[in-house]
Amino acid sequence: MKVCLAQTNIIFEDKNKNLIKAKKLISDASTKGQDLILFPEMSFTGFSMNTKLIGESDNETLKMMSNLAKEYNINIGFGWVKKDDEGYHNIYSIVNRNGKEVADYAKIHPFSYSKEDLFYKAGEELCVFELDNIKMAVFICYDLRFPELFRAVAGKVSMVIIPANWPAKRSNHWKTLLTARAIENQVYIMAVNCQGDMGGQYYSGDSCIINPNGDVIESISDCEGLIDCELADDVAQYRENFPVLKDRRLKLYAELFEKIENVSL
C-alpha cells in the first residue's frame, strides 16, 4: 500500500479554506499513485472547542470526502466533529476509493487537560477495519498515552493510524510514545499531525511512519507538506520471526488487575 501523510497548517476554524487546500492535496496524492492519504485530527477546523460552529449534524464533510475519494480514486482518512442527540464527538473517518465509509472512530479519551471532555462525548468503541485487504485500527491524539487501547488490537491489525493536533512543547512525548507503540505491539504506525500556529499553540508536526521494529521510515517536521511511503503487509512474518505477542498472559493479567483493585493503600 502506498500511504501519504498530509501534514497541514490548519487555518483555525475555517472549514471552507481548509477543504480547498485538502482537495489540492488529495489531487496531488492521487496523481502520484498513492492508495491512501491521511489528514490530522479535526482536519479542517483545528482543535477547537467551538462545537456550535464546527459541529455537523448533516455529515457534510463526510459526504464531501466520499465524493473526492471516488473522483480521485483514493482512500482518505480525515477528522471532523459529529453532532447527534448525545452531543458532539471528535471523529476520525476513513472512506475507501469507492466512497464508502469503512471506519468511524470517536475519540475514546478526550483531552481533559485542555477541557476537551467538557465539550465532547468520549467514544466507547474500538475501530478495527480492513482497507485494501490490510487490517488496521485508528486512535486519536491523546489516546496515544493509553497503551491499553493498542494492546486490545495488537495481534488483530498490521497498521495503526494516529491523527493528532499535538503541540510542539510535548513533541518528545509524541515521538517516544509512537515508537513505543510500534515496538510493543509489532505494528506499523502512521502518525499524522498538524503544523504551524493555531489557536494559541505552535505545532511542529513530526508526522511519521514507523515500522514494527521502531524504525522511523519517513518523517516531516516544522513545515507543511506530504510524506509518502510504500508499505508491505509483512507484519505476520515479523511476528513469526520475533514472537513476542504470543507470550502475553492475558488471563493472568486480568487476575492481577482485579487483585490490585482490591488492595487498600
Q: Which of 191, 188, 189 is nearest to 238 (CA)?
A: 188
Phi and psi at residue 36, in whole multiples of 5°?
Answer: -145, 130
85 exposure class (CB count in 10 Å sphere: 0-12, 13-18, 19+) = exposed
C-beta of residue 129 within 8 angstroms of C-beta of residue 159: no
Active site members: 41, 107, 141
End-to-end alpha carbon distance in the chain: 51
CB atoms within 10 A of CB 227: 18
Which residues partner with 62 through β-bridges?
none
